Amino acid sequence: MALKLEQLEFLAGPRGAEALAMDIPDNPLSAQKKLRKLYTYDEACAIGHMRELRTRPVAFAKFSRELAEQMLLSDELLQQCSSLRLANYVGKQMAVLAQAAGRSEVMDLCCGLGGDAIGLASAGLNVLGYDISPEATIYSAHNAAAASLSDRTKFATADVTQLDIPSDAIVHIDPDRRSGGRRVVALSELQPSEEFLRQLTRNSAIGAMKLSAAMDFSELDDWSNVRLEYVSEDGVCKQLVVWWSPEISAQGFPARSATAVWGDMNDPQCESIAAIDNTPVPYGEIGPWLIEPGPEVIAAHAVSALADKHKLWCAHPGMLWLFGAEPVDSRLARSYEILETVAGREREIRLALKKYDAGVVEIKSRGVSINTDALQRRLRGKGSRRLVVLWTRMGDKQKAFIGVRRKMA
């Protein structure tokens, strides 16, 4: 359900705030019956819809429960927006760049739900948010106020491609990655246009641009004044952030890095690694520990950097799983102690699992087409150990590694 501008204006006003805080029945029909005695049909529908959105798991996954229950949300913008954790991470990095330039004001283009503005303002920056949608500016202003950041944020409805953006401006932009109701990845399908986005990196002093994590960085090969950062959260690569600044421009090529973000939403922790090219991963025999690079490391083509840092190797050309003599203490990789290596056939895997007292079995595969969910159900044993089967192809043969995942400290 997409709310009309009039419905949003009502919800953002004092009557709407009172209605959203009202004690009403959990049953939707009973709730609507009570609301219709006090509000118009459109107002009652808006109240019911917003109360439901505020309790969705995705809202609590992206924002703290306390904040989510005070925000104005929409289905589409909630799906596209960053989590508060990622917004705060980007905000803190932007604040460092701004401080180095002696600046404190940032333009937040395509501000949407306002989550990124909250992250930027929380880092101490003064935010001017713009969006072509008048509904989006209502969302942003309300949500910044809910986060107690009204004093650091201002929002206006505008076509960002028509704004006068000074050459010394610090900008953040989250282009619309939806077209015709579907998610898009390619630069050519984004709004604003690819040409506007490219020019923005050249014509403003400092900035960050959020793109899809599914984008191959080869699309940005000729963006020679940027740094590309693939960022993950909870083991999922969530976004590609394009950074630019005078220091980055001096490098003259698109540097790449991978970053994992975790911990407190308001004060996240992070770990990064810079990609290194023309440094092949060494080869060796299968080792006692299998090391799985994180999705952000793979997306950034930083596997060789991870291997170099932790003295890892691979056992076959093109194999992204690595091996080591010891586990890797890093948020950028997962470590599995290998109990046994068997042929990649279900019968051999089943026998090995039984030998090691398997209970719940997790299946991870690379280069092998298997139904992991169905296989996990079939291979689940009656034992007490939680084991992992890492199934891959090595040349013309399939191998399966029976292992135990090492928990992070």
Tell which residue, 399, 401, 377, 378, has the closest CA to residue 390: 401
Contact 266, 88 (CB under 8 A): yes
Pairing of strands 227-233, 255-262: parallel
Instruction: Tell me what the pLDDT averaged over the chain comes to.
Output: 93
Pairing of strands 322-324, 289-293: antiparallel
Confidence of residue 128 (pLDDT cuts 50, 70, 90): very high
Whole-number Å distance between alpha carbons of 73 and 84: 14
Of 71-80, 189-198, 223-232, 327-336, highest mean pLDDT:
327-336
pLDDT digits (tens, 9 = 90+) for 146-194: 999 999 999 999 999 999 999 999 999 999 876 555 677 788 889 999 9
Tell which residue, 408, 315, 404, 328, has the closest CA to residue 361: 404
Contact 211, 198 (CB under 8 A): no
**Confidence at residue 253, expressed as pLDDT on a 0 to 100 scale:** 62
Give the rounded percent of residues in the chain with a pLDDT score beyond 90.
Answer: 82
Contact 291, 335 (CB under 8 A): yes
Residue 82: burial class (beta carbons within 10 Å; 0-12, 13-18, 19+): buried
Mean pLDDT, residues 1-30 taken together? 89
Question: What is the sign of the dihedral through the CA atoms of 329, 330, 336 and 338?
Answer: negative
- Domain residue ranges in the chain: 5-78, 80-274, 289-405
Pairing of strands 255-262, 269-274: antiparallel
**Confidence at residue 117, expressed as pLDDT on a 0 to 100 scale:** 98
Q: H/E/C letters for each residue in the chain?
A: CCCCHHHHHHHHCHHHHHHHCCCCCCCHHHHHHHHHCCCCHHHHHHHHHHHHHCCCHHHHHHCCHHHHCCCCCCHHHHHHCCCHHHHHHHHHHHHHHHHHCCCCEEEEECCCCCHHHHHHHHCCCEEEEEECCHHHHHHHHHHHHHCCCHHHEEEEECCHHHCCCCCCCEEEECCECEECCEECCCHHHCECCHHHHHHHHHHCCEEEEEEECCCCHHHHCCCCCCEEEEEEECCEEEEEEEEECHHHHCCCCCEEEEEEEECCCCCCEEEEEECCCCCCCCECCCCCEEEEECHHHHHCCCHHHHHHHHCCEECCCCCCCEEECCCCCCCCEEEEEEEEEEECCHHHHHHHHHHCCEEEEEEEEECCCCCHHHHHHHHCCCCCEEEEEEEEEECCEEEEEEEEECCCC
**Confidence at residue 67, expressed as pLDDT on a 0 to 100 scale:** 96
80-274 has which CATH code? Answer: 3.40.50.150
Sheet holding 358-366, edge to edge: 322-324, 289-293, 333-343, 397-405, 385-394, 358-366
Round to the nearest angstrom and report the end-to-end CA distance of the chain.
43
Whole-number Å distance between alpha carbons of 280 and 103: 41
Phi, psi of 369 (to 5 degrees): -90, 105
**Confidence at residue 179, expressed as pLDDT on a 0 to 100 scale:** 56
Give the rounded percent of residues in the chain with a pLDDT score beyond 70.
Answer: 97
Confidence of residue 235 (pLDDT cuts 50, 70, 90): very high
Evaluate if residue 409 carries a pLDDT over 80: no
pLDDT digits (tens, 9 = 90+) for 249-259: 666 567 899 99
Confidence of residue 296 (pLDDT cuts 50, 70, 90): very high
**Please, which contacts does 161-166 make with residues 24 or more away whose CB atoms are closer than 8 Å?**
161/192, 161/193, 161/196, 163/107, 163/109, 163/130, 165/107, 165/200, 165/203, 165/204, 166/204
pLDDT digits (tens, 9 = 90+) for 372-381: 999 999 999 9
Evaluate if residue 326 carries a pLDDT over 60: yes
Phi, psi of 153 (to 5 degrees): -135, 140
